[in-house]
Every structure is written in structure tokens, then in C-alpha cells.
Structure 1
């Protein structure tokens, strides 16, 4: 397997950027990873939280995954330990800088190992896989959105109210330096084949519908990851939404 990896980000209509993203593949080894974090807590807080997590996760994963042989059985524990360490780094920073107490961040970190995809996620940053069957999100959404959508399906709320519900984007799990309420990871890796595309993003990308994201990826599936990442961000920008959140994406193409 070969991997083509790229990232892109834009601050949208916000005054500052609270997303952070990094990705890399080990030279001549069948392994690669991305780390993406969407910070919360306002300027000089959310951006610090996301930067801490991306830096700590990237260092930990690089140290553990790249130097030697690693098995599928090892990767989930490596991801969990890296996330726990990143969360502890936030706690340490807050302990020394009390003015940023309450800052936090989501986390999504996919790892591609040969023809298999592992991941860990906390929060509402989505992880997609595009394949011959189309686009699907494979990680859990740790926000109130799934519960609100369930209320629509059971007839307790109408769709329009659900779309604009003030609690829709409230997070139910996040890295804040304290105990992490919920962590999602692949209990078994997702099988990949050449032509599949893995996309990690902040929820800013979801100003596009899944159908719109799928159309963009399908149209550009033969282009490089860099072209695809830029196109996804540009498509969100073109909406001109005055409430547009920060946007960040990491794209891993399998060949």
C-alpha cells in the first residue's frame, strides 16, 4: 500500500483559528497517520488546546509507530495512551495558566497500517471513508446532535427545529485535562483497498452536506490529496455563510 497525505485549513468567518491539524507517513513503511483537533474556549485558549493535542499526539504516534514493526493489536493501545498523554498535557498547561481554565478540544486521529484503518476520536470531529460504496462516517459523534436526531425519528421533534436547536452542537465529550467522558476507537480496523480515501475533519466541513462532500470527493478522486483537501475547504468557503466555523481537513488516499 502507498499513501498520499495532505492537510488544509481555513479560519472561515471566525476572527481566529482554533483548529490544528498534522499528518505524515513514514518513508518506505506501510504506515501513516493524521491528527486533527478543533479547539474550544475562545482565543488564546481553544487554539492552545488544539495545538497541544496535535503536537503531543503527533510526537507520541511518531515515536511509537514509525521506528519499528507494529501489529494491529498494538495500535489501539498506542492511540489510547497517546490521547491520555495529550489530555494530561492540557491539564499541566492549565495548572500553570489559570486564565485558560475551561479550554478544551476535540480529537480525531486515524492511523492507516497496510490495508487497515484504525482511529481514536473524542468530540464531534468526523472521520469519513470514501469507497466504491460511497461516503460514510465511521466514528461516533460526541455531541447532542445524535440525540436530537433520534427525537426527530421518533416523532418527538420536527426536522426544522432539530436543525436549528441551540444545543445541537453541545459536546458530550472533549479533552479538557480532566477525565474523558467518552472515547471512540475502532474495535476492529476498517479494511481498505486501493482507491479508498480517508478524510478527517473538524465539524466546520459539515456546513456541506454528506451528499455534497461525496460529490466533491467522487469528482476529484483521481487527483492528489492536496488538490482534494483544498477543494473541500474552498467549497465550504464558497458558501459565504456568515456563521462559518473554522475548517480543517486531513486527506489520506490509498493506492
Structure 2
């Protein structure tokens, strides 16, 4: 596939919802459209909005400054479902990008953790944020996906919606262990930026195919809107901004119990 003839066309929207007084979500989209990040802040009066805003700013700047190495070579045609959790033996540009993405999230974690320390909060207290991001390396039909927490990345391909991230939550751990006994609350997060000095985000590489649609979202969307309805909205032939508005409207119509943030990106042929 001539990957340089395609680009990610993205738009985003954030909304306070119908139950919260403050919007603690943040998002950013790269100036060239090659990356997007969604963060869902935690901490309320302790500064969840500051944490999410700090994370998108730090991660965004870090990714904007990345330059692919000059010895990068085109990778072989990817299996449509292959991921590269350890890309050390693969394309140098992807190898560098995985390191950069992990470093960007870890720098954001250190920045927020430092703010908590300055305010006198011990580890596990104060403000924090989830983060999910996607970064398409220029010229390559692949994307680096990184996340910590329960904000998600979905991919719509050939009408099928698939979550490409797995929640770092107590509820997901309960499901993974067989779901025995009483289910824990869904909002107990096991991994987040700012709550400790060290953080290891999940970072993997996924292939991109023409007409893929990507959705990054905070749990204010997927916690209110079933995946089937999300898929139907993403399949509508609208531009990403209109799709974002429809998703936010659906979450609010279902109750809007949390802040809602979405980024929709379409991997499309350039005009």
C-alpha cells in the first residue's frame, strides 16, 4: 500500500456531561494530524483538570518534536491483526517511536507526580489522569498505541468495532480472573499518570488499513453508550467533527453521568 498517499483526518470534542460541575477531561490532536491523545483527569478539587491538561500538553510536545531516523526503511506488508509489543527487530522508525511514546507518557507522569509532591500529597493521593493515544509515524501504514488507565482506543474496520486497549481497572482484573464473587466498582483505576513516581504504560504497534476509523474516548462515552451504538455512529458517512458531536450527544442522551471526550480519526486517501 502506498502509505505516503494516506493520512489521518481527525477531530475531537469534549463535554462536561449532565452530572458534573467541572470538566476534568482533555485532548489534543497533532498539528499534522498524525497523533491524538485523550486524558481523563481524577482528583476533583485536587486538580484532575490540571492533571489531564498537563498530560496532553507534555505528551503532545514530546511527539511533535520527534524526527524519524534517516535509516528508516519501509516495513513488510503487515498482517491485518499483527501487533508488535516488542518491535526491537522491526523498522527503526517504529522502534524509535515506541521508545519516544513511552518516554512521553513517563515524562507526563513525572510532571504530574511532581505537582502532587509540591502540594504535599503522598503517592496515591492528589490528582491523576488516564491517558490513551495513537501516533501514526509519517510515511508508514502503522500506528503506535499507548495507554494507562481506562480511556480507550477503538478501531472500526469493515464494519467491526474492536477495542485495541485493555482497561487498567479493578473491574477488568476481576473479569480477567473469572468474574467470581461481587463485582468491584468500575471506576477503580489500577494505573494512572501522577499517582506514583514510576509508571509503565502499555505501548504496542498496530497496522493501519485504508478506511480504518479510530476512536479515542474517555469512559464518559463507553460507560454510557453500548459498543453496538458506537459502531453504528462511526459507520455513518460523516466527517470526524460531525461524528464526534453525534457520539457526545448519544452519551448525554443516555444520562451524561460523566465528562465525555472523543477523538475520531479516519485513515483516508489524500486528495
Q: What band does the TM-score fall into relative to the shorter chain?
A: 0.7 to 0.9
How much does 1:252 deviate?
Answer: 1.1
Cα distance in 1 between the residues matched to 2:264 and 2:130 = 18
Q: Provide structure 1 residue ranges, at least 5 long, that are not aligned to the other structure.
A: none
Matched, 1:170 2:188: yes
How much does 1:240 deviate?
Answer: 2.9
Q: How does 1:102-251 map to 2 (within 5 A)?
A: 102-113=126-137, 114-150=140-176, 154=178, 156-157=180-181, 162=183, 165=184, 167-176=185-194, 178-180=196-198, 182-186=200-204, 189-206=205-222, 207-218=224-235, 220=236, 222-241=237-256, 244-251=257-264
Q: Which of 7, 10, 14 matches 1:5?
A: 10
TM-score w.r.t. the length of structure 2 is 0.80
What is aligned with 1:74? Answer: 96
What is aligned with 2:39? Answer: 37
Contact 1:5/1:25 (CA < 8 Å) preserved in 2?
no
Stretches of 4+ aligned residues off by more than 4 angstroms:
65-70
Query: Per the alignment, do residues 234 and 67 of structure 1 end up closer, same or farther by CA in structure 2, a change over 3 Å counting?
Result: farther
TM-score w.r.t. the length of structure 1 is 0.85
What is aligned with 2:26? Answer: 20
Contact 1:5/1:24 (CA < 8 Å) preserved in 2?
no
Q: Provide structure 2 residue ranges, at least 5 long, that are not aligned to the other structure.
A: 1-5, 73-92
CA RMSD, Structure 1 to Structure 2 (Å): 2.3
Query: Per the alignment, do residues 111 and 56 of structure 1 end up closer, same or farther by CA in structure 2, a change over 3 Å counting?
Result: same
Query: Per the alignment, do residues 211 and 176 of structure 1 end up closer, same or farther by CA in structure 2, a change over 3 Å counting?
Result: same
